[in-house]
Chains A and B, each alone.
Chain A
Amino acid sequence: MQPENRMSMLDRFRMMRENRFGSFLPVLFALIAIWAYFGVTEPAFLSPRNFYNLFMQSAVVGTLAVGITIVLLLGDIDLAAAATAGASAALMAVLLVAGWPGPLACLAAMTFGATLGIAQGVMTAYVGIPSFVVTLAGLLGFQGLMLKILGVNGAINMRDPFVRGITTVTLSPTVSWILAIGSIAAFATLVLRRQALRRVRALELETQAALWGQILFFGGMIVAAVATLNLYKGVPLLVVLLILMTGALGWVTTSTPFGRSLFAVGGNPESARRVGMNVRHIRVAAFGIVGLIAAIGGIVGASRYASVSFNAFAGGPLLLEAIGAAVIGGTSLFGGRGSVWNAILGALVIGSLGNGLDLSGAAAADKLMFSGAILLLAVAIDAVSRAGGGSR
């Protein structure tokens, strides 16, 4: 690597960002700064109860942000994600009212969401309409669809125990500690085994500091989260489900040929086409995944609000917060760079900000302006930390 002589702070920061696990540093700093600030000004902010609420409040935005990240990687955008979530949730609600069992209704909603996504993908990839326009039409159209499905009242209450259970069930402390220790052990095994394989194959090795730093950081985060949540109601099932979903998508995007092709198309579509990737199929699949994840977000929302209402999903806030979360997480709007894990952290940043400002009794006007400033700041940090890195 580079010689150590006289590196500025900025250079060090840039180097850290080049590291595989370094890309979430800015968003992590932002999160820590926000928590520190509100921790000092609002004593209630750092309470276990508030953390529980924070995770629950950020769940829908986080889910949508994870989905949107997939199309952002391609350099596309999905403005219809929130509307897709709403339409899917509405379908689920109507099916539940019609007497369908909960799991089946959820499955139907997810299929429906994926279908809406695929339809948008086909319009983008095969008809050649920019995704901004296709999904803008989707935003309007799917909101209409949602209203149509919900009927005249514009809201359906959610009493199904299965759906409600997604956000109301918490794990017992024993189960959550077993899960936590199991996942830390699995993570450490994977990291260490990889290092051993690298040594056997005579490849570049990670430094010992980076190796153990990763394990300690991951382990510390999990232990802290589980310990804090156990002081209140316990670890919500929802958090485990979201981590599983994000883990699966994170694995698909970084460790499979399909994921690699997402990054390749986002980085240089012509290059991807020349090496034989089917850019159209990839685009359609990506939009299908966003539709699916949006539907999951809709189900989570329905479960959390105990109802499916037009106002909860329509309009701007949910969609814009989800896109904001992805961007705060460091995912580029121009494609080729980003991570689904960062989207979760981005959602926590936005959630923490809203939560903290609510606690301090800030007016809606201040909340909006603060959110805008944080979004801008996050993107500015990202731009500064990358400047020069991409120049020839």
Chain B
Amino acid sequence: MTSGQEKVGRSAPPPHLKVTGISKRFGGVEALRGVDFEVARGEIMALVGDNGAGKSTLMKVLAGAHRADEGQFTIDGKPVTITSPHDAGDHGIQIVYQDLALCENLDVAANLSLGAEPVRPGWRFLPRFLRPLDDLAMEEKAKAAIDRLQVRTLKSVRAKVGGLSGGQRQAIAIARAAGADSTVILLDEPTAALGVAQTRQVLDLVKRMRDTGHAIVYISHNLKDIFEVADRICVLRHGANVATWDTRSTTADEIVVAMTRGLETGATNAA
């Protein structure tokens, strides 16, 4: 730690999700070239890089939305295969896309249970999709999720999402990801479209999720936000790792240099 820099894995907390040697090609374009990445529980790992560095591709590979051409996944040291969003969900990996994917015409409780609506017991003679919804359980679940993440500005889980602020929507999308027995949450630019106060809400929310033991991957262009919340920062460039830093022992300038020029010229004592 004397150098203030470390490669992935060394003297870091034991990883929960770890991928090694991830490669992904789109036609002739090599989007990811043997990338290593990891995140531990109770940690916020920032993922940064210039446009086209491969952040979003890596995120989608982790979420199962893209299938990696090469590479290994392990969760708590055990190898797993993740080739679809369904696989990722089964292993507790949830993603919050930048567009949030909320239904504005439905209320908060409905959005939080979307696709996994609880139904009342009994009614076995009906196929599941025609059994009565247990909307009271849905509201309870939503209230619990909102309370757990302490989204205080939200007055009612029966409010339509269309009437909420950007920060509240982001909070609901995050609460949805955090609710489904998930251990890893991938956040894609969660504060990109938000004002100052709302950004604050979301950053606080992200920190609270760290405190509840989630492993959080945080993509952002905003270094100020990253330095506030992240424990470690992983820099990608041209689809490959540059390095991973401990946030406390690096500076924004160093990260910017790494993002734009890599380590060859900027930092002489590269790991």
Contact = CB atoms under 8 A, between A and B. Distances in A.
Whether A associates with B in a native complex is yes
Contacts of B101: 268, 270-271, 274-275
A204 B158 contact: yes
B162 interface: yes
Contact of B129 (A197, A257, A268, A275): A257
A203 B143 contact: yes
A392 B131 contact: no
A337 B160 CA distance: 12
B114 A275 contact: yes
A268 B115 CA distance: 13
Contact of B155 (A1, A261, A392): A1
Q: Report, as a range, how many residues of chain A touch the other chain.
A: 20 to 34
Given A18-B160, A389-B162, A389-B163, A268 B102 contact: yes
A256 B162 contact: no
B129 A272 contact: no
B136 A275 contact: no
A256 B133 contact: yes
A336 interface: yes
B165 interface: yes
Interface in A257-300: 257-258, 260-261, 263-264, 266-268, 270-272, 274-277
A267 B106 contact: yes
B181 interface: no
Interface in B131-187: 131-133, 135-136, 139-140, 143, 155-158, 160, 162-163, 165-166
A6 interface: no
Nearest to B130: A256
Contacts of A257: 117, 119, 128-131, 133
Contacts, number: 92
Contacts of A272: 103, 114-115
Contacts of B86: 276
Contacts of A260: 106, 110, 114, 117, 133
Given A272-B115, A275-B115, A263 B156 contact: no
B30 interface: no
A359 B99 CA distance: 55
Interface of A is mostly: helix
Given A1-B155, A204-B158, A275-B116, A390 B133 contact: no
Range, interface on chain B = 35 or more
B85 A274 contact: yes
B104 A390 contact: yes
B163 A263 contact: no
Contacts of B156: 1, 204
Interface string A239-269: 0000000000001100111101101101110
B81 interface: no
B105 interface: yes
Given A266-B105, A276-B115, A203 B140 contact: yes
Nearest to B99: A270
A23 to B, nearest CB: 12
Nearest to A285: B129
A252 B166 CA distance: 32
Interface centre among A1, A197, A275 (most CB of B within 10 A): A275
Contacts of B119: 257
A256 B86 CA distance: 23
B162 A203 contact: no
A159 interface: no
A391 B163 CA distance: 7
14 contacts: A203-B139, A204-B157, A255-B132, A256-B129, A260-B117, A260-B133, A263-B103, A263-B110, A268-B101, A268-B102, A268-B103, A274-B101, A276-B115, A336-B103
Given A258-B130, A268-B104, A272-B103, 19 more contacts: A1-B155, A1-B156, A203-B139, A203-B140, A203-B143, A252-B130, A257-B128, A258-B129, A260-B110, A260-B117, A263-B106, A264-B106, A271-B114, A272-B114, A274-B85, A275-B114, A276-B116, A336-B104, A337-B105
